[in-house]
Every structure is written in C-alpha cells, then in structure tokens.
Amino acid sequence: MIGVFAPRIPSPLTGLAVPDAAFEARMREVLRSDVEFIALIGEDLVTAGGKRVRPLVTLLAAQALGGRPDSPRWDGVLRLSVCVELLHSASLLHDDLIDDSDRRRGQETAFRRFGNVVSVMSGDFMLARLLGELSTVPGSPALTRAFGQAASVICEGEVLQFQVASYADYSFENYFQVIHGKTAALLELAAQAPALLLGAPEAEREALLTFGREYGMAFQMQDDLLDLLGEEAQIGKPVGGDLREGKATYPVLLLLEGESGAEVREILERRAAQPGDVERVVALARQEGADERTHEEIRRRVGEAVAALGVLPPSPAREALAALAGREIERTR
C-alpha cells in the first residue's frame, strides 16, 4: 500500500497517498536489469527523486475519483503511476542528449557518464518495461492507447520545437502546440488515466483531462518565463537559454508583435549570440509589459484547470490537485 505525506512534497497532502517508498520500490522492481549500465541509470532515476509531479497527479486523481489506498484496486493505481513516471523519465533521457545538458537533478546526465548509445537505449528500455507493466493493469487496452497517443504527441512537440527554430516560424499556434507536447500531454495522461482504470463517468475523465492540459500549459509557460526573467541562483542555470536556442516563448512572442518586434526577431535569429542580447530582451519584456501579460495568461490557465475540477465531488484530493496547479502562479524555480 502506498503511504501518506512525504516531506519532500508540499502541503496540503497530509493523509493522502503520494509517491513514497512503496512507489520507489515498485520503480526499482520494474527497472531491474542484469546489465550494469542500465541498472545504474535506473537506480539514479529512483534515488534522484525529483518532484514526482506526474505520478503525484495520477495518485491524487485516483483518490479524487474515490480510489482508496486500502482497496484491492489500488495496486493498479500504483502501477499506473509508475508507468507515468517511466514515460517521463525515458523522455528526459532523450531530452538531455538532444539538449546537450550536463546535469539533471544535480547529477551528471546519463549520456555524459555512459555515452549516447547507452543513454538512448536505456530510455528505450524504460519504454519497453512500461509496456510490460501496463499490460498487468486492468483495462490495459484503453490505457495502452492513451499512453501511445501521449508518447506520439511528446515526440511531435519536441521535433516541432526544432522545426520552428530552424524555419524561424514563430507563432502562438506553434508555441502552444510545442508546450502541449513537451509538458501538457503527459499531465493530461497522468490526470485522466485513473479514470480509465477505475471506470469513472466520461464527464469526470474529461474534467481530469482538462485539468491536466491546463495545468501542464501553465507549468511550461512558467518554466519558460523563468528561463527569461528568473534568478539564475534559483532556477539553477543561466537565464536566456531558450533565446540562445532560437526558441520564441510566450513573452518573446508578445514582443515580436510589439514595437520592438524587428529587433527581437534579429536577436532570436542570431540565437542571442552578441553580448547584451539576453539582457536587452529581458529589459524589453519588462518595459513593454510582456512579463505581466504572461503572468496573466498563466493565471488564466490555472483558473481553467481548477474550474475543471468542479465536476468532481469535494474531497481533500481534489483540493490538493487545485493547490498543485495554483503553485504555478508564484513558482520561482
């Protein structure tokens, strides 16, 4: 049985089932391998921890639908939460290689330690183990379709992001499709999968899907805003990374529509390669109000996420989901 409040996860989760030692034990079991490099990467995944936001959403959604940690069906919920985390972790292994990242959760990235082939194949190994684990969950055909669709959207979002930068095809439509693929699609899956498992009414599944989508969009928009306007000491990396990769995020797209649009486009197309480029865009974002307009859109998305939960009966788990989304309004890292 999964446990209750874990210290690394913020309130108001007291008394609710969250990813804890039972979750991590199941992760270890699923990722077990006789190949040392794969085993080491799997153990790093378990011990590095992280926010575990996606499996947390799965567990909370299940409880908001009336699932109980002491019920016979909870083992399926736990397995489902592990599958969600495996899909996320596999995508991170691939992302770190694509983005040429040196560190992940304070540790050297897998491809830096073991090389490209080991990192990619370990990500594929996680996806294979995910399929095996998913096959043991009741209702697996519908869940397999949902996982497959989410994985496809994640891949499309990642490739579209590079396509947009290559063609300088900057638009809000493209941006929203990219961040839906990068973040929101997996949170949609995490939120709605328990409804498929537990046989919840369609209205409740749709409500959780909407919650996951809007929460995911707000989450990624806040990440993007912090990449431009955050404090390096808090976000753990230099600001302006998206500009240096030619990625136009929401505040930058607002600037492209304004009086400084031509200047900002030039900076984007040269990947902020000149001294002072990032600082100039930061100054313009504040001067023209792009920062506050981005905050307004994040608040709107959070509001949509919370409103969607109104379909569900009141419960501590529903309130915890709402609080999780609400954190995006003030998050600084």
Q: 20-60 pLDDT, tens per residue? A: 999 999 999 999 999 999 998 888 888 876 779 999 999 99
Stated pTM of the model: 0.92
d(CA 322, CA 333): 19
Residue 106: the pLDDT is 62
Q: Where are the alpha helices (DSSP H) in 135-184?
A: 140-167, 172-179
Taking alpha carbons only, the member of 226, 219, 123 closest to residue 180 is 219
Q: Give the confidence band of 10 by pLDDT, cuts at 50, 70, 90.
A: very low
More confident residue, 330 or 281: 281
Which helix (H) or strand (E) segment holds residue 107: the answer is strand 107-108
d(CA 7, CA 227): 27
**DSSP assigned state of 182:** I
More confident residue, 13 or 301: 301
More confident residue, 16 or 108: 16
Taking alpha carbons only, the member of 189, 150, 184 closest to residue 61 is 189
d(CA 278, CA 72): 54
Residue 6: the pLDDT is 30
The two three-digit tokens of residue 103, written as one number: 């560190």
Residue 78: the pLDDT is 97
First to last CA, the chain: 32
Contacts of residue 153, defined as CB under 8 A and 6 or more positions apart, other chains included, come to 180, 181, 185
Q: Give the confidence band of 4 by pLDDT, cuts at 50, 70, 90.
A: very low
Q: Give the confidence band of 104 by pLDDT, cuts at 50, 70, 90.
A: low
d(CA 118, CA 127): 14
Q: What is the pLDDT of residues 193-219, one digit of tens each?
A: 999 999 999 999 999 999 999 999 999
Structural domains in the chain plus CATH codes: 21-328 (1.10.600.10)
Contact 55, 24 (CB under 8 A): no
Neighbours of 140 (CB within 10 A): 18
Q: Which residues of 38-50 are buried (b: 16+ CB within 10 A; e: fewer)?
A: bebbbebbbeeeb
For residue 95, what are the CA distances in angstroms to 37, 182, 239, 265, 273? 19, 10, 19, 26, 23
